[in-house]
Each structure stands twice: as structure tokens, then as C-alpha cells.
A = this chain, B = another copy of it.
Amino acid sequence: MAVTVKTGTEVRSPLDVAKIRADFPILSRAVNGKPVVYLDNAATSQKPRQVIGAMRAVFEEYNANIHRGVYEFSEQTTAAFEGARAKVARFIGAHDDREVIFVRNATEGVNLVAYTWGRENIRSGDRIISTVLEHHSDFVPWQQLAKDVGAQIVMIDVDDDGRLRREQLSAEIKKGAKLLAITHTSNGLGTVNPVKEIVAEARAAGATVLVDAAQAVPHTPVDVTDLDCDFLVFSGHKMLAPPGSGGVWGRIGLLERMRPFLFGGDMISRVTVEKTEWNELPWKFEAGTSSYVDAIGLGAAVDYLEAVGVANIHDHELSLVAYLLPRLSEIPGVEVYGPKTLDDRVGVVSFNIEGIHPHDVATIFDREGVCVRAGHHCNQLLMTRLGVAATTRASFYLYNTTDECDALLGAIDRAKKVFKV
């Protein structure tokens, strides 16, 4: 395996990790008598007391339903909820708060676009470009839409290091496409796509571009204005916020022309038996009682991330990759998937140990307190491409340490001993 990061490559972390860890109550827990080593951040992140506290404050101090109440609690909750939207908008570089729609998660975000913009714009014979790096959540909605309307899915491949085949993508973009739905960062391998240049290319060729930023917004600075895409989705639970929070960002011009997705309370302006007029953006897309406490939690998470600095978090994660990758690849029988360099990647490290199935690896790791993911990571197309059924994946966040990398390496050793490989 050609890992180009060598042992001894020192990348300094800019973070005061000890201070950060003190904010996360769960990190002082033990699992099976060992301190927990949480390395499943690509699945979901842990939450700092600031987020837990912000949610609790709603419940204990001022909870009321939003938008409709003419009393103080309701005004306070509404202000916190809309304040969270403003924070999120600023965090992702949106010009206008109305471009941020709160959804449960990235998956709902993609579906919202597929059911509205997609069903209104994609017709029989149209081409939709996708990639084998896509998470199922950014593939299956388009596959189903294509099936329903008779559109065509064009798949872009990766090279053996899990990097998108740029020439293939460019060639397919040139042939024309209605939509390019592409992940910013792969959750299976940690690959970061050159999204900005891809968006420019695709839009110049007339395609609308949706960016799945579920693994990007938590780990790298993301700016929708700079990316210049049409839609972008992400999940709060992967960025220190509770599950139930997440967002779709869309260009206001597109959002205005789109029909609403879910119908009901709060998204209407006037209802008669014959017809309904919609509320203004962004509420036109937020039917029923929003998960406003989760959204307020997301606002607190954004505050936390901004205080630490997402660019710093990215550098910190790379310092861990620089520590882990060479050590990992020196272990006989360990195969690492994905980028073997520090360029254009985040802190996701996927690997397998010869002779031990990833599920057995994860079970043994668990006894050592090490939480990793084993499976297809909602990336079955990518697994098929890599020729494996599953991998073991360690994924970092701002609170992880090199000691935890050592714990992971120790757990690999343990697994090999148990399995005598």
C-alpha cells in the first residue's frame, strides 16, 4: 500500500483538546471498564454541554410553540429559533436567512429538493449525474425520481484511492445534464471533492447542482456563496447538534419558484376550501411544528464550532490522520482504503484487517472501549467498486487525540491476537 504519509510526519494540532474534551460529558464515560474512545464521528458526533444546556434552557425556561404566540415565551422561543437560522446562514456563507430551511437531516433535505424542484424540472430522457462516492441519501432519491419520470442516472467512478475520476466527470458534464448531485466529502473514505471547480463546470454547462455537505459542514469551512452551487444539504447531528436538526440551503430564486414539499400548519398564509396561499420563505417549506428545540441546539453548536474555528478543527483532524495513517499501514495485514495523503481529505480512515471481518473487529474494539463503525457506511455502490463487503471506519472530530489513535492501534493488536492472524 502506497501510503505517502510517513511515520514521524508531524502535523501540529491548533486545538486545546483537553479544554474541548471537558465540554463533552460523555467523553469521561467508560465502556467495558475502559475509557470510551469515540471514533464514529462520521456517523454522529457527541454534544458539548453548551448544546445540551441550550436545549434544556428552552424546556426549563421559556418553551412555547413558535411563530403564532402573542406572549413572551412564544416570542422568546421564536427569537431563539430564528436566531439559530441566522447563525446557520452565516456559518455556511448564505446571503439571506430565508435561504436556510430547517429539516430533520441531510436525507430529508435531498428528498425535499427531489420531490419539489426535481419533480418539477426533471423529465423523461434527462440526465442526472451521480457518483459512486454518494451516500445512499444522495443517491436513492435521484434513482427513484429517475425511475418515475424516465430520466437517466449517469454514474461517475473513482480511482483506486477513492478520488473521483475528474476526466470522466468533465466528459459527462459536457454531454449535458439537468442535475449534478454530488457529495462534498465522502463519508466512507474521507475524500474531499474539488467541489468549487466542479460546480463551476457543471453550472456553465447548464446543470443545476446539489451538494451533499453532510460530511463537509462539520469538518471544513463551507461557504455556499463561494461554492456557488444551487442547493446544499447537511445534518446537525454530525456537527455537535442534536439529531432532528439539519438544513437545506437553496438559491432564493429557485426556492421562490418551487412548490412547497410538506403541506399543513405554519407553511400557509391563507386557506380556503378551494385553494391555499403559501407563507413566505423559509416557512413555506416548514410545515407543522418545527423541531425548534433541535434547531436551537444547532444554533448553539454553530456558536461552539465558530468559537473553536472550523479550519482549526480541520487541521486538528489532519494531525490525527498524519499520526494514524503511517502507523496503521505498517501493521501487517492491514489494508487502508481511500486517500493515502493528507491532501483533500478529512479525518475518516477506512481499513480492513486480513482474516477478520469488520464486524468482528468492531466487536473486539468495543471491549477495548473503542467505538468504530463496521459495515458499508450507506455506501454500497462504493463498497462494490472497492470490491469489499464492508470496512472498518474510524472517523475523527475536534475532541479526538493521538492517545485515542494509540488505543485504536492497540485494539487492532488485540484483534489480531484473538484471531491469531
Contact = CB atoms under 8 A, between A and B. Distances in A.
Contact of A74 (B263, B292, B371): B371
A235 interface: yes
Interface stretch (A134-142, A162-170, A215-223, A319-327): A134-142
A78 interface: no
A206 interface: no
Contacts of A271: 136, 139-140, 380-381
Interface stretch (A12-20, A283-291, A306-314, A344-352): A283-291
A107 B288 contact: yes
Contacts of A63: 26, 44, 46-47
A334 interface: no
B71 A366 contact: yes
Given A31-B73, A62-B26, A371-B71, A378 B265 contact: yes
Nearest to A155: B273
Interface string A359-382: 100110110001111110010110
A343 interface: no
B73 A36 contact: yes
Contacts of A64: 38, 40, 43-44, 371
A47 B59 contact: yes
Contact of A289 (B32, B62, B243): B243
A87 interface: no
Interface stretch (A89-97, A108-116, A171-179, A194-202): A108-116
A373 B276 CA distance: 23
A293 interface: yes
Contact of A362 (B43, B71, B107, B138): B71
A43 B138 CA distance: 34
Nearest to A140: B263
Contacts of A52: 56, 59-60
A36 B71 CA distance: 11
Contact of A61 (B26, B106, B372): B26
Q: Sorted from nearest, which 6 A-B pairs have the closest CB atoms?
A: A107-B288, A137-B264, A244-B291, A107-B264, A70-B362, A244-B244
14 contacts: A31-B72, A40-B65, A43-B64, A44-B65, A51-B59, A69-B373, A70-B359, A74-B371, A107-B263, A111-B262, A136-B276, A244-B244, A268-B378, A272-B381
